[in-house]
Structure 1
Amino acid sequence: MNSPQRTPTEPASPLPRHVSRDSVVLDYGLLAQWRLSPYALGFFGIGLPLFIWAAALAVSGWLLAIYLMVFLINWTVFMIMKNQSAKRMTATPTPDPALRYTLIRERRLRQGAAGALWTLTLLMISLSVSLSGQGQHNEFMLMICGGAAVGVIFFCAPVLLFLLILGPIAVAGPIFAMYHLHPGGELSQFMTGGMALTLAMGFVLNRHMQEHYLLQHGQLEAASERESARAEAHALNDAKMALMETLSREVQTGLTGIEQNLLQGLTHLSRAPAPRQYVDAALNEVGHLQSILVTTLDNDTAAAGQIEIDVRPLDIDLLAQRMIGQFAPLAHSKGLSLSYNTSSLPEGTLPGLKGAALGDEHRVEQILAHLLSNALLYTQQGRVELKLLLLPEGFLRLEVVDSGPGLSPGELEQAFTPHARILRTSSGQSGAGLGLSLSRSLSALMGGRTGAESTLDVGSKFWLDLPYDSGAVPPPRPVDSDDAPRAAHDHSLRVLLISNDSLRSALLRDSLEHLGHKCLTSTSRERALTLAKKAPIDACLISTGTLDVLEDADHRGTLERFLNSLRQTQEDARLTIVALLPDGQQAEALHDLGVTSLLMPLNREALSRALAQAPSLA
């Protein structure tokens, strides 16, 4: 007696919010009735043999044949309507509101017509049995019709309209026929009471199902609203990230232009301290703003869960030494002691630990840079120390200890809150207040953790714990990186500067000395070879404008012989060579010759990173 609305496993999608309560109840009632169709088929299949047996005893053969013919017609019409409804629902699985109303009306009409067809058939059979005469078999036949009426009430119960109209008609046939056979008899009264009770139970069931319909509809509405809110939040977050990336890119471009103009102007200044001080201050501020932009964008990306992490075994000892070398000039400029301490590790585990810490090398460096820069920034005198410790719970700890002003427990908690800055210690210092928050997010993404302890007026220690796998194999080091490095506290380099421009030479010498390095100056390659033979050097900085056309085999061979001769002047032949280029056209060819390229105008931070790969710091 039902036509399909949608597949049995497909949940009903919520109707629009302005749809009335009656429409919601009708929509769900029709669906519930559709889901009862297999049970209706089973009910008919079980009752049909009993009906045929009783009808064969109670009525004539030709009347039984008429009954079976009517059953065949009813099932044919039912299946046609069911298939048509199924095709319509499949063609429009998610209809718009207007079409949704049309479908509800069509389903109500189809399912109501199918129910009416079976109800009228039951009425016709009951009346024909009562008119065929009295007898025990006729009474039994009417009892079967009464059972069929109970089935009609049950299958109409999900829809109140069908229950109100078809239910009374279905029970009227057997009751009227029974009273016609036995007026005032006990069997007639028994059937009447049973039918009345069945109708009452049908109304109770309908009321319960209506509450269930509304509850289910409310749950689907809530789920739909949550999904919409989640999708809107996701879209808003994507839009926010896109805006942040756009702003970061545009501001970075502007700051880079300002930086290049300042550097270009710096080449035309004399070595008088006053104007150079102003330009240096402007360059430092540009670099600081660039760092804030990168940190802010990374923090938002990490908070959105969109940051990419590449976890693999790390050579923590080499990474730590590299970070110490990178921050040594800043410590030197502030008169602080910056040291690297591995004494807490088991004896004999360095330079290569047995096993390896697991993490993303770039992100570990980023976290350590935040911890070291904060320690050096807020420590006015004393020391900053980077320590390695193996923890028993399977972590390797990189701990940054300083002798700074220290923090109270409340201030320590505030330090890890995004955009929260501690006024007592950060007064006069600019920043976004995101470094520690970002560090905690990045460490969690790598399976590690970040924490801190601090004592007022004594100092602080901040740490990064990385998962440690004793069976992991760290990446191979350079062939000769196991040679004894220079003492950790001495990070100045001896740099040979080759420049044929006096102003640029003065600028570069000033930058190198500002970074804490010692500088030897030469205006030609021949003079450079002479100086390199007389004194040990760690790095060579070439700034002679456009180099030879390296596409020419002769020019390339000349440069290659010079570089080889320069390297051979040093006993270990480990020499970092950096070339300043007006453009990037020769960068790839120089890379093949073992030369690091930097574009002009020079960025002091880029120069510091390039020289950090020198043997004395590597």
Structure 2
Amino acid sequence: MAQCLDAQRRLMPYALACFAVSLPVFVWAGSFAENSMWMAASFAIFALNWGAFYAVVNWMRVTPDIPVGRRVRIHVLSGLLWAGAVAQVAALADGAGPAREPLLLMAAAGAIVCFFFSAPLLPALLIVAPAAAAGPLIALFSHPDSRNQGLAVWGAMALAMALCLILNQMMRQQFALAAEREALIAERGETLERAQKLARSKSDIVSTLSHEIRNGLNGVTHVLAAAAGQGGRAAPSREQLGAALTAANELIAVLNATLDSETAEAGRLALESQPFDPVRLARELVLLNRPHASAKGVELSVHIEEALEGAHGAVVGDVTRARQVLSNLIGNAVKYTLRGRIEVRLALDEQGRVVIAIADTGPGLNAEELELAFEPFRRVERTGAGVPGAGLGLSLSRQLAALMGGELKGQSALGVGSCFTFELPWDHAAVAPTEADESTLRSPIAPSKRAMRVLVAEDDALNAAMLRAILEQLGHQVVHAQNGKRAVELAGALDFDLVMLDGRMPGLDGAHTAAALRGLDGPAGAMPIIAVIGGDAEEARECLAAGADAVLRKPVTVAGVARAVADAAAKGRDQAAGRDLSAFATG
């Protein structure tokens, strides 16, 4: 419709010119009319219509952003101005004596011109064309001597109308093709922009990770070389070991943040939804970061609004991701604030949301720097020089907040400080677990009293050695398979109580390995399987769908492995008891 309107708008100046050219011809033909007064009035009406039409054309030219519905009405009314001019010519011609028939034929020609200029817009054509044709046809058929001419004019108008309808259909098809072409061009532009954004993102990932990995691994390698006695170096001191551990933890944090950011950007980051108490979470993180702040002489405090302190309800969301966001915000405040104080304030707003504000007296940011701080892999050089990190904390935190139905905003002023606000929806009917409940859930489950034979399928030697060390520390026996195919062969030939397999292995990956193990005959096909994955939600779904009983995310810990193995052992005992009962019932 918009393209039809544009086409008719472009024709309007030509219609105006045709209007102006026809006026002298009409004056010449009208001079032969017998009623001079009626002819003068017709000239005046013709001129007024031309002036009104010119005003409409000029107004539409200088006002391009008119709504479509209003433009349609204006175009129809403009066409009716021309139709009115044709009608008054026909009225003049009907009483013009000897000039009657030539003037009526001129009026009919004017009506056909109206058909043409209304053709691009179908509503205008269907309304204006009959209105323009009515005057000449009525006048011609009202007199016996001009009925034959009326029939000829009727045929010409019918043919012109048919041609205009065909022209309208062709134009609409062309406009549809043009719209499709514009959509394809826009889609191509968006695809190109996404590709360029992806290329920039990958480039930023490579440059950031290369810098952070190089720095972190250099420190760890230096300490390990000293511990191994290479180059005649003395054994590393406790301080060096602590520095190496810090570098390794920072490297793991950078890698985890990068993976989370890319997963969230692709829309594949899975979140859990459960009630939790934001007040207790904020107090725990403040308590955890207070020693680092005190070491710098910075005061770190928390303030809870009274209405929130005694309010019924809880935040429903992913407590792990909420902890990650708050940890980033409080950690950044401690990291960049050199003196003064940091305050964490919690309150309930009028929209029923929990507002967690982290205000500091750090160096502050201007508007451009604050916007830059929320972009992935971008860091503010003025404040971030010499501070480790990948530049993903704020961008990832904003993504996580949006995924939980919340919002992360920031305010800052140079030399004054910054305040970042984390908002989450509050559910008055939700009940958060108490601290006693969570401590019960966090307490490690007692491992099985008997030693288990565990088959570990892991292609990475370092990961396999670490997992073996943990399992042997828990008192279990370990058999290592370097790939999924070898794990299936060993499971079919030997008896195992449990299989722990890596989610991403060359050849036969974790999901396919789990499916192959479930296809084995006898007890081997029913033994518990734990998939050890890198944290990808899609990878976890694939492994669970293929037959894995549980998922353990890297990096693994002793408590995590102990809990997973104990759960798997309990499940294995339940399955064995079920088989015994089934055999007893059958016997």
TM-score, L = length of structure 1: 0.41
Larger radius of gyration between Structure 1 and Structure 2: 1
More helix by share: 2
